[in-house]
Amino acid sequence: MTIHAGVVAVQGDVSEHADAIRRAAAEHGEDAEVTEIRRAGLVPDCDVLLLPGGESTAISRLLAREGIGEEIRAHVDAGKPLLATCAGLIVASRDANDDRVQTLGLVDATVDRNAFGRQKDSFEAPLDVAGLDEPFPAVFIRAPLIAEVGDGVEVLATWDGGPVAVRDGPVVGTSFHPELTADSRVHDLAFFRQQAATR
């Protein structure tokens, strides 16, 4: 079967995520057809969605201007999976502690932008993630800190005592960039395992 995946492509790592989704699908014997989302009207045809990293202020502005933000909200309201990474998680959160970011409120969490420091402080760390047998090589780039999560939010991974991967219903959010290594297990966790549970 073919899974229709949309990668929001107003900014950020698009092709790396598309590759990771295809690899994760292949492991389940499925194909992934990946659509780059730059305008309204495409999200309703997607089974799963990905909101990549980049610059959260720019991403949120473009999502609002193009009318894509509302479609992403409807996708999640319908219980369909969304993986939001780094700046994508900031945009998907309830509150980013920054008025310039229009958050979508899809993850019941408050995040602090750039809490792990500036670009030079980016780092990679082996991370224990709930549901994965071996540590995941997590790349953090000016990563947001998840400051507070609501009761319904499952913390999937922590670093330095704070959550860095969470699940809120159909949404998985990571403060790191799971697309920057050859390891597609986080995409698998977000898209294929949730589907398996609800099918």
- Residue 177 a catalytic site member: yes
In terms of Cβ atoms closer than 10 Å to its own Cβ (0-12, 13-18, 19+), residue 44 is: exposed
Distance CA(8)–CA(36), nearest Å, equals: 6
Indicate whether 61 belongs to the interface with ligand GLN (CB under 6 A): no
User: Shortest Cβ distance from residue 1 to ligand GLN (Å)?
Assistant: 32
CB nearer ligand GLN, residue 24 or residue 91: 91
Local structure of 157: helix, strand or coil: strand
In the set 110, 114, 158, 195, which binds ligand GLN (CB under 6 A)? 114
Distance CA(121)–CA(111), nearest Å, equals: 18
In the set 11, 56, 93, 174, which binds ligand GLN (CB under 6 A)? 56
In the set 80, 113, 167, 187, which binds ligand GLN (CB under 6 A)? 113
Indicate whether 139 belongs to the interface with ligand GLN (CB under 6 A): no
User: Shortest Cβ distance from residue 37 to ligand GLN (Å)?
Assistant: 17
Local structure of 188: helix, strand or coil: helix
CA-closest candidate to residue 78, choices 44, 112, 119: 44
Local structure of 74: helix, strand or coil: helix
CB nearer ligand GLN, residue 131 or residue 137: 137
In the set 37, 48, 141, 189, which binds ligand GLN (CB under 6 A)? 141
Provide the 8-state DSSP code for 89. Answer: H
Indicate whether 111 belongs to the interface with ligand GLN (CB under 6 A): no
- Residue 179 a catalytic site member: yes
User: Shortest Cβ distance from residue 90 to ligand GLN (Å)?
Assistant: 5
The Cα diameter of the chain in Å comes to: 43
Which one of the spans 40-48, 82-90, 127-135, 155-163 is the region binding ligand GLN (CB under 6 A)? 82-90
Point out the catalytic residue in the list 17, 46, 75, 86. 86
Q: Is residue 5 within 8 Å of 45, Cβ to Cβ?
A: no
Strand pairing category for 107-112 and 93-95: parallel
Strand pairing category for 2-8 and 48-51: parallel
**Positions marked catalytic:** 86, 177, 179
Note the residues at the interface with ligand GLN (CB under 6 A): 53-56, 86-87, 90, 113-114, 141-142
